[in-house]
Amino acid sequence: MPPIPRSFSAEATAHAARGARLDLAADRYEEVGAVLGEMYALIDRLDDVPLGETPPATAFDARWEA
């Protein structure tokens, strides 16, 4: 399945920046929105990775055992 192209309007990019507490100048919204679209396209490509019988990881235990 091909990735769904996504576009981020200046308003959506501004909203995301406020949510992330980033001080983003208004003249950067279009450029950052384009980068966000590219990032989501890369993430969507992960759907094409064949996992076979690999079960999803539902837990992670970061304890070090010596």
Q: Render pLDDT for 12-42 as a digit per residue (tens, 0 to 9).
A: 999 999 999 999 999 999 999 999 999 988 8
pLDDT at 4 > cutoff 90: no
Residue 61 inside a domain? The answer is no
- Tell me the CA distances in angstroms from 41 to 5, 22, 58, one per residue in order: 7, 22, 24
Within-domain flag for 59: no
Residue 3 has pLDDT above 70, yes or no: no
32 inside domain: yes
The total number of structural domains in the chain stands at: 1
Residue 40 CB-half CA count within 13 A: 12
Q: Is residue 23 part of a domain?
A: yes
Whether 17 maps to a domain, the answer reads: yes
Q: List the domain range (segments joined by +) for residue 23.
A: 10-48
CA atoms lying within 13 Å on the CB side of residue 9: 3
- Bigger pLDDT: 7 vs 13: 13
When the pLDDT of each residue in the chain is averaged and rounded to a whole number, the result is 86
In a domain, 33, yes or no: yes
Q: What is the C-alpha to C-alpha distance for residues 31 and 43, in angstroms, rounded to an integer?
A: 19
How far apart, in whole angstroms, are the C-alpha atoms of residue 17 and residue 11?
10
Q: Which of 8-12, 36-40, 45-49 has the lowest mean pLDDT?
A: 45-49
> 60 lies in a domain?
no
